[in-house]
Homo-oligomer: A and B are copies of this chain.
Amino acid sequence: MARTASLSGFPEWLPQERLVELHVLDTLRRVFELHGFSSIETRAVETVGQLLRKGEIDKEVYGLSRLQEDEEEARAAKGDHHALALHFDLTVPFARYVVENAGYLSFPFRRYQIQKVWRGERPQEGRAREFTQADIDVVGDGELPFRYDVEIALVIAEALSALPIPDFRLRINNRKLAEGFYRGIGLDDTAGVLRSIDKLEKIGAEKVAELLKSELGASDEQARLALSLATIRTEDTSFVDQVRALGVSHELLEEGLSELEQVIEAAVQRAPGKVLADLSIARGLDYYTGTVVETVLVGHDQLGSICSGGRYDALARKGNRTFPGVGLSIGVTRLVSRILSQELAAASRSVPTAVLVALNNDDSWTGAQDVAAQLRARGIATEVAAKAEKFGKQIKFADRRGIPFVWFTDDDGKHQVKDIRSGEQTDADPASWSPPAEDLNVRITTA
């Protein structure tokens, strides 16, 4: 793709590229609905107060103000918690939606949400300022069985498997496991340790060890053990023995080991080869309390995680009521950008149209519309030529737009259809003719 976005960080697709994106979106929707997830959308804006709810925004947020507002209004809005801003993810808005509509929802509530989000960060490959996320979450009222952690991972594995993307791996860890382990070795600032461990891939083990010692006061042995844990990575449940071999014990560690074991056990069986236990996964500043997930495309490590998420003990609160949740978020734009830039998949044609009905003469437009209506009634996307140019020109028009078939009706009402790729022209009845199945709709083919 030689094109670049006219506004850095705000990608736009050509029609044939959009067909690839639509295929991705349709596929995700189909899989999510087959698993009983309901669609919702939330408004694009939240109040600043809502976005600050968790005390800290580490994302660059776009605030909104009316262009016509005067300076006084503008000053008043600055720092106002009621001021509006664009959402930077779909989790915070979903939490608000659940609290606001709790009385109208039945729990556990399963929803998918596919929308754009905005972050004013410096754009780079795989990181846009406006991008689409596709989230699934299950949220309970008061409690949410752990089994949903297993299920969410399996649904995502199925959804990603249905996309025209390279092989992928869900790298799964568990916060209880990690926190229990750190407490077990005497490091109580577990959030601090997680933040350091999160930098492992970026800065390497040595520097992480230094951080642990300098910032968290860890001993050599504590740093060694924390790093040993983070290097454990298995395709089956053997991580359990590897953790035990480190000789650390803590109640929370046991709970986490058991949870992660359940996820990996089910995944090995139901999504073989797609899931890893990866004890380096920390998910930095995010407020997960159990299962945590990141996902890599095999051979595209530099792209970053294409699907992340995990379990929250309290996705939302309403008075004494807590709503625990577990969910994952697919970075649709990141995936589609990669599919397009590396030509991993392409649309079989660039327009939905399968048939162009040609015009014999200018008076034949009405008759041509009748033919088109008959074809459309049977699901065949059809255009009618706007001008009665020479047939050669009308065929060229179809060719230029990527329409495979041209329909002709002569003055005696005899119908013929031409496959302009092969040149083959045959008699046809508008009430019954159909294109070959592979030409009926646009298909997405992988390279």
Contacts of A6 in B (CB 8 A): 96, 100
Contacts of A85 in B (CB 8 A): 67
The 4 closest A-B pairs by CB, nearest first: A36-B353, A36-B383, A15-B38, A10-B43
A interface, how many residues as a size bin? 35 or more
Give 1 or 0 for each of A57-75: 1 = CB within 8 Å of chain B CB.
1001111111110000000
The answer to the question of A214 belonging to the interface, with a C-beta cut-off of 8 Å to chain B, is no
CB-contacts of A379-403 with B (<8 A): 379-384, 386-387, 400-403
Contacts of A97 in B (CB 8 A): 12
The answer to the question of A44 belonging to the interface, with a C-beta cut-off of 8 Å to chain B, is yes
Q: How far is the CB of A92 from chain B (nearest CB, A)?
A: 14
The answer to whether B104 touches A269 (Cβ under 8 A) is no
- A61 and B64 CA atoms in complex are apart in Å by 10
Given A39-B19, A65-B65, A101-B14 contact (CB < 8 Å): yes
The answer to whether B3 touches A104 (Cβ under 8 A) is yes
CB-contacts of A107-158 with B (<8 A): 108, 110-111, 116, 118, 120, 130, 145, 147-148, 151, 154
Residues on A lying within 8 angstroms of B by beta carbon are 3, 5-7, 10-15, 18-19, 22, 33-45, 47-48, 57, 60-68, 84-86, 96-97, 100-101, 104-106, 108, 110-111, 116, 118, 120, 130, 145, 147-148, 151, 154, 266, 269-270, 350-353, 365-366, 369, 376, 379-384, 386-387, 400-403
Q: Of all chain B residues, which has the CB nearest A116?
A: B44
The answer to whether B10 touches A45 (Cβ under 8 A) is yes
The answer to whether B64 touches A64 (Cβ under 8 A) is yes
Q: How far is the CB of A74 from chain B (nearest CB, A)?
A: 8
Interface residue from B45, B67, B352 paired with A33 (Cβ < 8 Å): B352
